[in-house]
Structure 1
Amino acid sequence: MPQRTVTIASSVGLHARPAALFVEAAQGTGLDVEIGRAGEEAVDATSILGVMALGAKHGEEVILTADGDGADAALESLVALLSRDLDAEEG
């Protein structure tokens, strides 16, 4: 299963708007995507409650995994998303 490590760039971490944008993008892949910290159990990246409960803060590294056709491309797009300060961007 492909995986990528990314540092959370959003100033508020994966909370509120950034979490919602990430979950929407993960759902849009149509794949089984998980997010978690090294050494901890990953959560379903398509679940807003799971992602917010993860409590990932600005500057923390998370690991994304995806399973299915197109997993590498999906992970690259999710990494690019988390590498931006989503809270500072216009909606």
Structure 2
Amino acid sequence: MPERTVTIGSRSGLHARPATAFVRAATEQAVPVTVSREGRTVDARSLLSVLALGAGHGDSVTLTAEGEG
């Protein structure tokens, strides 16, 4: 299962607009994608779940894709 840890670069963090773009990109993938922060993992296709992570500027999140591709 591919995994990558990234740092949130947006000065305003992963708020509504960038989170919407992120969720849209995750939804377009052929495999399930999750995002984790501080031990909490959520479905990257759920805008409310992604926003609930509260990822701010400089925070690290881990993206994981399950399956081939």
Using the size of structure 1 for normalisation, the TM-score is 0.72
How many residues align? The count is 69
Q: Which runs of 5+ in 2 are unaligned?
A: none
Distance 1:51 1:13 in 2: 11
Match of 1:43 in 2: 42
Q: Which runs of 5+ in 1 are unaligned?
A: 71-91
Deviation sequence 1:36-77 (CA, Å, 0-9, x none): 124x1210000000000000001100001001221xxxxxxx
- Where in structure 2 are the equivalents of 1:76-91 lying within 5 Å? none
Distance 2:54 2:37 in 1: 10
Runs of 4+ in structure 1 displaced over 2 angstroms?
A: none
User: Is residue 2:55 matched to residue 1:56?
Assistant: yes
Indicate the RMSD between aligned Cα atoms, in angstroms.
0.9
User: Is residue 2:12 matched to residue 1:12?
Assistant: yes
Identity %: 57
Q: Which is richer in strand?
A: 2
Match of 1:73 in 2: none
